[in-house]
Structure 1
Amino acid sequence: MVSVMWVNNEVGVIQPVARLAARCRAAGVPFHTDAVQAFGKIPVSLRDVDCTFLTISGHKIGAPKGIGALVVRDRHAVEAIIHGGGQQFGIRPGTENVPGIVGLGRAVELAAAEQAEFAHRVAALRDELERRLLATVPDAVINAWQAPRAPHVTNVAIPGTDSEALLMHFDLAGIACSSGSACSTGAVEPSHVLTAMGVPRELGVAALRFSFGKDNVIEDVEAVIAAVPKIVDKVRALSAVLHR
């Protein structure tokens, strides 16, 4: 089986899942796509993508935590791992989470209905954040900016810094962002995604991910930009001392 993320969660790149699914189907290979970061953000339709399996996560679209969905085109393609009751066609026995299922169903309806408006609005916020960041920190790098991207994610590398220090300072400023870097034996390692993309190590360890949801507004972008100069100066000064 081939399994591909429809949208990468770190950089927002959209993978060509329709083409990949078609090639797998022609070769008789089952194809699964992880649509967790795609559904509700970009158009997602099983009519357009001939996948065998598709997964979504409820809390990414406003449903209760702990609920998700596995869409199975042919139920005979799945063998039960746990056997017992006949719930869910005998594939997954056990009492169903009815409140979660109802919440997920309603969240899916709303996410599908509001997808186009959501994408237009958050893309404008993302683009404005990127524009102002580059104006404020001219040597910053927007990772994967030339690739097709989902509208709600940007990944920015700020040379001369490290992501863990940046995260701490942004957190103290009340700004939530994230990093794909891993801390190993006290050293920051670059995200495996950025490494696979060929991003140089010095940029990989200095990359941050900003994402937008339905409640974000332009004032949030302004808050980030207002905090950036002081934070970047602090982290660069500290980094220069540590690397003497």
Structure 2
Amino acid sequence: MSIESLLAWKAVAVGVWIALLLAAERLVPAATRPVEARGWPRLARNGGLWLLNAVLSPLAVVPLTLLASQHTLDWRPAAWQGWPALLLDLLVLDALIYWWHRANHVLPFLWRFHAVHHLDRFLDASSAVRFHFGEVLLSAAARAAVIMLLDIPLVSVLVFEALVLMASIFHHSNLRLPERLEKLLARIVVTPSIHWMHHHPCRSDTDSNYATILSLWDGLFGTRNAKRRRGDLPIGLEGETRDADFLGLLAKPFRKG
């Protein structure tokens, strides 16, 4: 299968998944939307950031990823192929994205960009695609370095990116799951009840639950938050009382303070 076909299948899979979650969370919501999260302004902000990154992707992100895949250290043994290799690649990449996410909270320069994601005052499936273009470019550069150093095949990267997007859409969603099902899923993957605590304004909660796909990394590295989502859980950033408008979100990382 060509790279173009893989990218097309990835776009279709992610598009269908976010449409399903956006519909499902409105039919079976876990939390009532506050007044400021109703209507089109918030969706327009989140959608605008997504659209900007969608334009940026073929111009910078995809070419950088392709370039990295063509200039790897080429140390992978010939026998390291097939499904076992793909599964191991996905496991390694998921562990590394945990540390990248954690670095975005620890390093002030990275946090300036990542904070735009956390300024959202409510969580739903649209929050999963709300990222500053600067963070997307920095993430692409970090991913390119990993691809080259670890000799990760492009197919593994594209499969992982699709899984990351689908996992992010799921655990940001306002979907109410049966309690027993959510507890069962949380043993394996990151669920809304886990990730919503990561968006609680209390900084000790914000700086926890960094995992993206598999939920085991926070327990393994000591950052698991035992609290679970409540219907009235506040969302946002400590010290911030409102979200910014679209231009304000774009400018925020470059402002002092």
Tell whether the structures are fold-level matches, with TM greater than 0.5: no
More strand by percentage? 1
Q: TM-score, normalised by structure 1?
A: 0.31
Q: TM-score, normalised by structure 2?
A: 0.30
